[in-house]
Chain A
């Protein structure tokens, strides 16, 4: 069992569903509200027990989505369920907020009834749910059958889908997580990649995706290719449509895709990556009068690539005033509400180096401790480099076979972005 009841609350119950009738909803909701309002934000944990009832919650916008249980539930499943439930609501209502809940409470009850039964998650695929739980005001037509996909082995795709043009779009998106220590060494670097698909294919297509996966090459005895540009992925996670046993067996990625947008797979690589965008900061504080920053940034990728919309975010003390900037490229803005300056560079070509100077006044009597804290925050960098993957991963082929025999074209794009990309200041 996973949950006895699910609540959506902004600390006053907005809507709830008591699946098992073994918890007192009003008491529980009040207990949860007082936990949230009385516990310091820093001391809160996402799972806690009060009076024998265990609360697990996630936060979305100003709402808490909360599962309550009396038993030794599988919390991992509960948390995943809550996130997916939010996903379903977002798909249905565009956004999940107290207003959209009140506007749609009837359908929310229906969804709560269908997504979980007696505390066990059931159907959480909004595309399939939409086939029999619809919003159209007066539902005149009687739906006479549950969609086959609800109980089928292929629970994510309905039969009889038709598209005029059969197309499929692949985006390979890589995010670079990077942490550079104050002494300039890379403490950790990690690539989190995702193959995102937008599928507009008719019928029940069988797809096979080929990547330059080193282990696959090895498995199929293509050592020569393996040596070349193959990439060794450390861990891969697949959408439920991918046949995992098959992948485990010979590393073939085969699947029947859902219709529309979905993440086919995510992968993780833990290789030592050179920081694509390097930032160095020299800070000179003059107590009681001013503080000066000299920021140097360098792009460390091939010169024909371009990083777009680069933002370098540098934390500054909270009590600075009268900012002035000088930079060889881009624009610099001071954001007092974030205690930071942001250096924007629209287009940052590879193998370039730029300089920026910032100057602030400081009040003559400053709060020493506050300044101390601000210094410790690392510099953050945001960027986007199209037509490029750090890992070197490539889509070798995407085979699409449907019994009607249509031809479909796959479109592939690559992009690299910043993930959790930060450099500690010296």
Chain B
């Protein structure tokens, strides 16, 4: 119950009053006073000044002087001061170390914890060394409060001096804390380890079966915050198989009932991630049913939490639409919802709308379109258009709602409606032209470029059905020079279309437009397009017709537009910022271990809201001669070209580095002889260049039609490969009889991994399906994977680690072979290996065997399988013996073969 123990005159606000002149001097005297309350008051005044942003660093020694005290309030204040100013006075801060060390030994656990906590916050490298001793003692303190504070302190220290933490064995101690009897200590230990794992990119968490059990046990015991730490770390774990996944899910599901929405969100994350591994239909159905109510309940929380929930639900309904398929009405907007909540609700509604509920949704959207907030109204109108594009059978209803809204004559409603109707026309050509008349009645309302451009596109496209198309264009032409470039381009194209359809009436007009575009405009896009049209029209009007009036590809529904791999990545990031921005963390966060670069890099990735991407992005893309309409993008709805940078999203597991110039070559083998693929012969291979993994295709087109666009899909494999870009566009197309090649970027992702059954060898192939977009034919093939293509640049081990690992692996887990080499020069082999991320660890002559030498290597795949190898050479012999040792027995043979290939 709230009480107000504030005593009159005793309030701290008096410390904020300043005495201006001589203040510092006076404070200094007071700080040295022997009277305790004078001293405390003086420190408070200093802290008050610090709080309001005044620099009080000149009092450093004086404040530090007060550190030796048994008054815990005073001590806390001095510590706070130290945290703030230590960086500016690193030398003097050393003077405080003694007190810290002493306090860390205090009989009072509150003081011990305070000392450890504060020391970690003083980010002065010089004192880190003094920190180690008290820290390692605190990690074993008898009081759990001290231990839990010390656990976090390890993460703090790692931030300042990672080597120190590793050298002093703190990671091991921290790992031991997972088995601590106290749940809060476990939770903080998990938090610290997770952070270190994230910062370093190393798997320091190492979730084994026993660790897993400890985490699950602590989940029931620790504070709500601790539960979130544990759930978040569980979400990064990949269960061994479906059964284990199911077992963990069972333990996590009760968390869905927690009042703390952060706990709920993290539990949802774990469950959704593990669901990928579950194949039992029943279990999937049960989980689907269990997930819906907690997600809906989040909509009753504070608006900020709702916002977070909605951004995540947006992802969840793309991944598993069944979960909320019957819940659409929960997403209807309340009048008093903040606008950012309303906007997100609309996004979810559009994703959930289906034939069954479209009537109800349209009524809602229509209601929203009459509200007061302009942005919300616009989005509601454009949502109606998106419904039409998504649901063919509802399109007519949507159009009639749009027409009703146009009747309202509200300026921005009309404009938005025109824009979406243009999209509907592009989705269902030659179907709803009857509405053009209504649109034409509202020409004078249009004053926004996008709406104008859309209207002009409609006029040009359907010129033959509009009696006075030329007159309408004429009215727009009057203001040609003042128009936005997008409108000018549309006007130019529409006039040319008009001319091609009815040359007699528009000869003069088209001439005038071409003149304006080519001679009076200084916009290069407009000029170029003008010239192209001009030449086309003057040399070959038929060709011009073929180009300008050609049939346009139909645009597609874009409501589930995230690429599957990106979606999986984002699902694994539920509740984090990444899930809010719908971007993988790499895009807006720079890893801490490349801290120096971080500062300049950050700016590049400004957050842009992709919400508005609505139907079709790219207003100022390249000039499109075919003119796909106003805001139209390329090709079709799922414009893949934009995603050329998917690498960024994917895993840049490669890190920096990359192979030296003597790069690896790619051996391709025929995987498809053309008999099943419409005459396309495919040779396929894999390689890695500069840290980027790719699948290399050579195509020989023996078919009838040119190959322009293919789409590829990879089946899950033992290597976890996914294409960064599913669409392969051939520019120029591979004509019949010709050949071409394509390099498909690949990422390695756990979601595409098929676990190898115990005792079995990993299947060496990657199965792929290719769809020829020209005729929608699909063909399949399997290609042998070359494991060296995913050898990671961080596969080098240091000698001791190598020796220990080598010893720890059982001899039964060895595979051997002898391989003929092109050379007997060991150096050449080492260089070749280095180029493929196989690292030399040691080299020594074999004792008692003159002329024989062994070289040890290590390598690691991006899927975190490590291999150790021993190569034995005999002087003058162009052959060597290879021995590969690895815990990943399933892959050992593949690794051995990789080494053989690389050695040759």
Residue of A nearest to B227 (CB): A240
B307 and A26 within 8 A (CB): no
Query: In the complex, A132 Cα to B73 Cα: how many Å?
Result: 11
**B307 proximity list for chain A (CB < 8 A):** 45-47
Query: In the complex, A304 Cα to B254 Cα: how many Å?
Result: 40
Query: In the complex, A48 Cα to B304 Cα: how many Å?
Result: 12
A237 and B259 within 8 A (CB): yes
B257 and A247 within 8 A (CB): yes
Which of B109, B251, B293, B592 contacts A234 (CB under 8 A)? B293
B589 and A80 within 8 A (CB): no
Interface check B296, CB cutoff 8 A: yes
**B259 proximity list for chain A (CB < 8 A):** 237-240, 263, 265-266
B576 and A74 within 8 A (CB): yes
Distance in Å: Cβ of B816 to nearest Cβ of chain A: 45
Query: In the complex, A132 Cα to B111 Cα: how many Å?
Result: 12
Whether A146 contacts B588 in the complex (CB less than 8 A), given A42-B373, A49-B607, comes out as no
B588 and A378 within 8 A (CB): no
In terms of DSSP, what is the predominant structure of the interface of chain A? mixed
Residue of B nearest to A121 (CB): B225
Interface check A163, CB cutoff 8 A: no
**A71 proximity list for chain B (CB < 8 A):** 198, 577, 585, 589, 592
B576 and A72 within 8 A (CB): yes
Whether A13 contacts B224 in the complex (CB less than 8 A), given A76-B308, A235-B296, A236-B257, comes out as no
Beta-carbon contacts of B714-734 to A below 8 Å, as 1s and 0s? 000000000000000000000
**A238 proximity list for chain B (CB < 8 A):** 257-259
Which of B16, B296, B364 contacts A268 (CB under 8 A)? B296
B13 and A99 within 8 A (CB): yes
**A42 proximity list for chain B (CB < 8 A):** 339, 373, 375
Interface check A365, CB cutoff 8 A: no
**Which A residues between 135 and 172 are near B, CB-CB below 8 angstroms?**
135-139, 142-146, 150-153, 155
Distance in Å: Cβ of A34 to nearest Cβ of chain B: 15
Chain A CB count within 10 A is highest, among B15, B72, B589, for: B589
A120 and B143 within 8 A (CB): no
Query: In the complex, A71 Cα to B595 Cα: how many Å?
Result: 12
Beta-carbon contacts of A91-107 to B below 8 Å, as 1s and 0s? 10110000110111110
A420 and B297 within 8 A (CB): no
Distance in Å: Cβ of B904 to nearest Cβ of chain A: 43
Distance in Å: Cβ of B324 to nearest Cβ of chain A: 13
Residue of B nearest to A100 (CB): B6
Whether A260 contacts B1 in the complex (CB less than 8 A), given A75-B576, A146-B113, A188-B332, comes out as yes
Which of B188, B265, B607 contacts A76 (CB under 8 A)? B265
Query: In the complex, A312 Cα to B477 Cα: how many Å?
Result: 55
Stretch of B147-155, B202-210, B445-453, B702-710 with 4 or more beta carbons under 8 angstroms from chain A: B147-155
Stretch of A50-58, A202-210, A282-290, A355-363 with 4 or more beta carbons under 8 angstroms from chain B: A50-58
A151 and B182 within 8 A (CB): yes
B339 and A76 within 8 A (CB): no
**A57 proximity list for chain B (CB < 8 A):** 304
A268 and B293 within 8 A (CB): yes
**A77 proximity list for chain B (CB < 8 A):** 225, 228, 262, 266, 575
Distance in Å: Cβ of A213 to nearest Cβ of chain B: 13
B580 and A142 within 8 A (CB): no
Interface check A407, CB cutoff 8 A: no
Interface check B434, CB cutoff 8 A: no
**B293 proximity list for chain A (CB < 8 A):** 234-235, 268
**Which A residues between 111 and 131 are near B, CB-CB below 8 angstroms?**
113, 117-118, 120-124
**Which A residues between 300 and 322 are near B, CB-CB below 8 angstroms?**
none
Using a CB–CB cutoff of 8 Å, the interface residues on chain A facing chain B are 1, 13-15, 18-22, 26, 42-49, 51-52, 54, 56-58, 69-77, 79-81, 83, 90-91, 93-94, 99-100, 102-106, 109-110, 113, 117-118, 120-124, 132, 135-139, 142-146, 150-153, 155, 179, 181-182, 187-188, 190, 192, 234-240, 243-245, 247-248, 260-261, 263, 265-266, 268, 270, 373, 376-378, 420, 422, 424
With A106-B44, A139-B72 given, name 15 new contacts (CB 8 A): A52-B603, A70-B598, A72-B576, A76-B261, A79-B262, A103-B12, A109-B80, A117-B152, A124-B225, A145-B110, A150-B184, A235-B293, A266-B259, A376-B372, A422-B334
